[in-house]
């Protein structure tokens, strides 16, 4: 959960937001245009450039591989080479649909959609060069996953709390 404040920009295109603690996520929209989200600690003035949008939505089909778990969601990211910028997210509903999400059409190598959560392995779909005003369908058919338990210990065999544990996986010859 997060607090969302909305204000309207003036004739000069400027808006003043009240100070908020921590990192902020700021975005703007007008009519059918939308900016990419800006994330960070407030400092001076940030520029948000509005762009035409497209709509993306989809379904999750688990087939006979089990039932649709609760808590699944889709993250939308913008990819430039190996830099991934979060754009939005959507929960998967009980009817196995997600979205619609309205996203800005921006210069990028691709838009990446990740299905995550539940007992299925993460699944990725890429969308290249969506057209302004288009509605795109991105469907997922995830495979069951196996939860991996990790026990972190020090050189003296003691349990270590607070250790960062990360994982990478090889998918189609590419490390993710």
Q: State how far the Cα of 40 lies from the Cα of 83, in Å rounded to an integer.
A: 16
Are 134 and 55 in contact by the 8 Å Cβ rule? The answer is yes
CA distances in angstroms from 52 to 19, 33, 49, 139, 160, listed in the order given: 29, 5, 10, 23, 49
Half-sphere exposure of 113 (CA within 13 A, CB side): 28
Please report the pLDDT score of residue 42 as a whole number. 84
- In angstroms, what is the C-alpha Rg of the chain? 20
Task: Measure the CA dihedral 31/36/42/44, to 10°.
Answer: -70
Q: State how far the Cα of 69 lies from the Cα of 120, in Å rounded to an integer.
A: 8
Within the chain, strands assigned E span 24-26, 29-30, 33-34, 38-40, 51-59, 73-80, 83-91, 97-104, 110-116, 123-127, 135-137, 170-171, 174-175
pLDDT in tens, the chain (176 residues): 566 778 899 999 999 888 888 888 899 999 999 999 998 888 888 999 999 999 999 999 998 887 888 889 999 999 998 889 999 999 999 999 999 999 999 999 999 999 998 888 899 999 998 999 999 999 999 988 877 889 999 999 999 999 999 887 776 677 76
Please report the pLDDT score of residue 63 as a whole number. 87
Please report the pLDDT score of residue 3 as a whole number. 66
Please report the pLDDT score of residue 176 as a whole number. 66
Across 144-158, b (16+ Cβ under 10 Å) vs e yields eeeeeeeeeeeeeee
Please report the pLDDT score of residue 2 as a whole number. 61
């Amino acid at each position: 959960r997060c607090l969302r404040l909305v204000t309207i920009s003036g004739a000069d295109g400027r808006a003043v937001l009240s100070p908020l603690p921590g990192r902020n996520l700021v975005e703007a929209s007008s009519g059918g245009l939308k900016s990419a989200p800006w994330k960070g600690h407030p400092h001076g003035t940030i520029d948000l450039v509005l762009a035409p949008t497209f709509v993306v939505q989809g379904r999750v089909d688990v087939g006979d591989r089990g039932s649709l778990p609760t808590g699944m969601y889709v993250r939308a990211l913008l990819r430039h080479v190996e830099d991934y910028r979060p754009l939005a997210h959507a929960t998967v509903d009980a009817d196995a649909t997600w979205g619609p999400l309205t996203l800005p059409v921006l210069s990028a190598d691709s838009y990446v959609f990740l299905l995550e959560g539940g007992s299925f392995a993460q699944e990725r779909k890429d969308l290249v060069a969506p057209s302004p005003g288009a509605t795109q369908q991105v469907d997922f058919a995830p495979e069951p996953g196996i939860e991996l338990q990790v026990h972190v210990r020090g050189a003296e065999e003691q349990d270590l709390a607070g250790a960062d544990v990360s994982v990478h996986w090889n998918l189609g010859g590419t490390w993710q």
